[in-house]
Structure 1
Amino acid sequence: MFVHYIDLAWRSLRQTPMVTFLMILAIAIGIGVTMTTLSVYHMMSMDPIPHKSDRLFAVQLQTMDDGETWLTDDDIPYQLTYPDAINLAALPGEFARAAMIRAGFSVHLNTPRSKPFIENARVTGRDFFSMFDLTFIHGGAWTEAQSRDAAPVVVIDEEMAQQLFGRTDVVGESLFLGERRQEIVGVTQKWRPTIKFYDLNNGSFGKAERLFVPFSHVKAYDVDTWGNTNGWKFEETRDFNDKMNSEMLWIQFWVQLDTPQQRQAFGDMLMAYMQQQQNQGRFNRDTLAYSLQDVNAWMNYNDVISEDNKILVGLSFMFLAVCVANILGLLLAKFMRRAADVGVRRALGASKRQVFYQHLVEVGLLGLLGGALGVLFAQLGLLGVRQTYNYYESLANMDWVMLLSAPAIAISACILAGLYPAWLVCRTTPATHLKVQ
């Protein structure tokens, strides 16, 4: 029976090509606009590292004195001072940890044919690669000894290796960061998380770095941050050494704690550290506080998805509702024109339920066709977003969930629009139209 209904629906759509085209176009435009905004919102709200997001924690310390406030709800700064980052990195325990900043360098090969280019870099600890799932295709991270000695080493990704050398197996080769020669010790696969969750202080949707150097370079080579630096009191900083020893906040710090016991132990160490610092004249507060937030909590804390994004999705669904209202009017006119045919079917034994289902199948088929065309419109919309906003490149895409959602939403919207016209036409009285015939 269902196949028969599809056949009847297809015949009906072909009998009124102009009306059918207008309805398909209306639902396609509505789906195109809705899926463009919904796809970006969906990618924004996805867990960027689902298999371990509940084991990675951003560390915050309440470093300010009593009476000083911060712009966060819990009054705790987003970042750490350099001394705190160094001290936390030295805490005992078998857990991965990584202090980090965003920096940048002029990259070249120091040859006439090598054109220098400016590249963002992640200055971090060697645990960064395992914590955030970067995969090495050649070599590996720098060693503990190289990190301790601030050895001139670097890790790059395969894209940069191809750009510089025309191949990926470049371990042992050298490149220059400004005037400093660095040995390549590892090459990673291209790594492009949809959200730059590990450093939300410098833009949630920026491109991930392709270049990595040890965190010890900060002190050894005066590598300053290209990100945000904040402070809660006036301090005279005449040089970079003063900045490193100040209460300025410019370092991000992450830890991986795989068990509740590890988390409790690390929390106890943080509190003991803060009490120790308080005894040395810092953290002058009656109540010491710290925060450990996992990946998803950290994104919520930093308002990765703003109210504007939610409003935009709501407006797109309102636009879809307008399209559905137009389709309802067209369906009402089309179905009522077929009242005489329905009357004959009813006289020949078709029930109201069968007539109702037949028309719902027709509007469902209409939704399927409109949804398929709407996916193409959405792809054009997402292409426009990618070309207009480079930092949305990894977000302006449709995954399989969105690809399946588009026709599902379109079919549901069309069925919703067709409920009243289908109900109205199935109540047709056979005798009325048989007399006319």
Structure 2
Amino acid sequence: MLQYYIKLSWLSIKRTPMLTTLMVLAISLGIGVSMTVLTVNYLMGKDPIPSKSEQLYHVQLFSYGKGHSNQHSSDLFPLQLTYQDVMNIHQSNIPSRKTRSLSTGFSIIPNNAEFTPFMESARAIDSDFFAMFNIPFIYGNTWDKSVDSSPKNVIVIGKELNNKLFKGENSIGREINLNTINYTIVGVIDNWQPTPRFYDLNNGSFNQSEFIFVPFSLLPIHEYPSWGNNNGWKDEDINSYQDKLRSETQWNQYWVELNTQEQVNQYKEWLTGYIEEQKKVGRFENERAAASLKNVKQWLTYNYVVSDDSSILVSVSFMFLTVCMLNTIGLLLAKFLRRAPEVGVRRALGASRKEVFIQHLVDVSLIGLTGGLLGLLLGQLGLLSVKELYPEYHQLVYMDTTLIVVAILLSLGSSLIAGIYPAWKICQTNPSLYLKTQ
């Protein structure tokens, strides 16, 4: 029976090409706009590491002096830590894993004469960084944990950089020149791009991840520059890199992995003890002095990665889809009522209202499916436009399988809802009226 209904629907569509085209365009435009906005909003708020988002915590310390705070955060806490604080709290053995983190960069001097020197962003971290954030390796592995305390010029690079410098070959043991200093490659990671880039939201929530990772322990030796935010609340004479290391400037991040609630409680208690110790030496003088732990989801919410504006845009886009569906209802009424004589004859020959109703819903489903597929294409064009207008959102210009299924279901669902009244209306046709006419 379904095959018969589809055949009738196809014949009906061919008889009214203009009306059908207008309905398909209305549906596709509504789906295209809705899916463009929904895709960006969905990927912005997507859990970037679902398997561990509740075990990874970003550490914050209210290290300000009296009368100072961060007016840009909801709880007035600073978003980053001082170098001396990350060094001090790194002594705790409570976390299962832990890493200091700094955004930096280098001038790469290739050994291959085909390439001229070029700049590349990098990240100074500890060896636990890779296991904490589930970063896959192609070749080798991270440096030995001893390097976190006994610095060595070793490095982990990304697949893209390895392809560029070494044509994708196994480069373990080879050297790379950064700022005239040679580093030995110990690992090459696969493509890794968490979206949002939760591990460092201070330097662009959707920026490209780094291709270079060096030991944080080398920081005071090679005096790596900060390519991220540097926030200070205290007037200090900073005339050298060592002065900055000893200063109250907040320019580092710190992440820990705590696998149980007991660990979380123990670590909070340890941080409270650390703050009390620092008060004794004249630091943490603010009455709000405390520690804060936020897991990945809490950290994304805290930093407003998905802004209220994005949620409003989603609502507006669905309002636009509703308008498109209202127009579709009018077009469906015009299309179905033109077929009233035909429906009247079918009713007189024994077709039930239920059969007529289902027949017209099949019509609507075919139109909705076609509109949905065209809407997917328009949605992709919309995402490409977003990429051109906002290059920092280049990681958000794709629809995954979930979003594609959502688009098709949305087009079918909205079309069926729009088609219920027109289909019901045509079912009320009085057969005798059209039999007399015929």
Say whether the fold is shared (TM-score over 0.5). yes
For the Cα contact (< 8 Å) 1:368–1:411, is it kept in 2? Answer: yes
Identity, % of aligned positions: 45
Question: Partners in 2 of 1:144 and 1:52 — Cα distance?
Answer: 22
1:35 counterpart residue number? 35
AA partner of residue 84 (structure 2)? P
1:295 counterpart residue number? 296
For the Cα contact (< 8 Å) 2:83–2:250, is it kept in 1? Answer: yes
2:170 counterpart residue number? 169
1:86 counterpart residue number? 87
TM-score, structure 2 as length reference = 0.96
Question: Partners in 2 of 1:195 and 1:285 — Cα distance?
Answer: 33
SS of aligned partner of 2:8: helix
Question: Partners in 1 of 2:146 and 2:299 — Cα distance?
Answer: 32
Q: Structure 1 unaligned runs (5+)?
A: none
Give the CA deviation at 1:111. 5.1
Structure 1 residue 140 corresponds to structure 2 residue 117: no
Question: Partners in 2 of 1:125 and 1:248 — Cα distance?
Answer: 21
Question: Partners in 1 of 2:432 and 2:143 — Cα distance?
Answer: 88
SS of aligned partner of 1:187: strand
For the Cα contact (< 8 Å) 1:168–1:187, is it kept in 2? Answer: no
SS of aligned partner of 2:13: helix
Cα deviation, 1:80-100, whole Å, max 9, x if unaligned, reads 111000111122235200110
2:45 counterpart residue number? 45
1:11 counterpart residue number? 11
AA partner of residue 227 (structure 1)? G
Structure 1 residue 179 corresponds to structure 2 residue 180: yes
Give the CA deviation at 1:427. 1.0
Question: Partners in 2 of 1:92 and 1:423 — Cα distance?
Answer: 69
1:179-328 matches, within 5 Å, as: 179-328=180-329
Question: Partners in 1 of 2:290 and 2:279 — Cα distance?
Answer: 12
Cα deviation, 1:168-220, whole Å, max 9, x if unaligned, reads 31111111111111111111111111211000011100000010001112211
AA partner of residue 70 (structure 1)? N
2:374 counterpart residue number? 373
AA partner of residue 152 (structure 2)? A
SS of aligned partner of 1:261: helix
For the Cα contact (< 8 Å) 1:193–1:394, is it kept in 2? Answer: no
SS of aligned partner of 1:243: helix
Equivalent pairs counted in the alignment come to: 437
Give the CA deviation at 1:46. 1.1
Structure 1 residue 336 corresponds to structure 2 residue 337: yes
For the Cα contact (< 8 Å) 2:104–2:121, is it kept in 1? Answer: yes
Question: Partners in 2 of 1:133 and 1:422 — Cα distance?
Answer: 53
TM-score, structure 1 as length reference = 0.96
The alignment yields a C-alpha RMSD, in angstroms, of 1.6
Give the CA deviation at 1:287. 4.8
Question: Partners in 1 of 2:146 and 2:128 — Cα distance?
Answer: 14
For the Cα contact (< 8 Å) 2:80–2:252, is it kept in 1? Answer: yes
AA partner of residue 326 (structure 2)? A
Cα deviation, 1:107-140, whole Å, max 9, x if unaligned, reads 1224533311110001111110100111122221
AA partner of residue 6 (structure 1)? I
For the Cα contact (< 8 Å) 2:9–2:360, is it kept in 1? Answer: yes
2:416 counterpart residue number? 415
For the Cα contact (< 8 Å) 1:56–1:257, is it kept in 2? Answer: yes
AA partner of residue 20 (structure 1)? T
For the Cα contact (< 8 Å) 2:95–2:263, is it kept in 1? Answer: no
Structure 1 residue 104 corresponds to structure 2 residue 105: yes
For the Cα contact (< 8 Å) 1:271–1:288, is it kept in 2? Answer: no
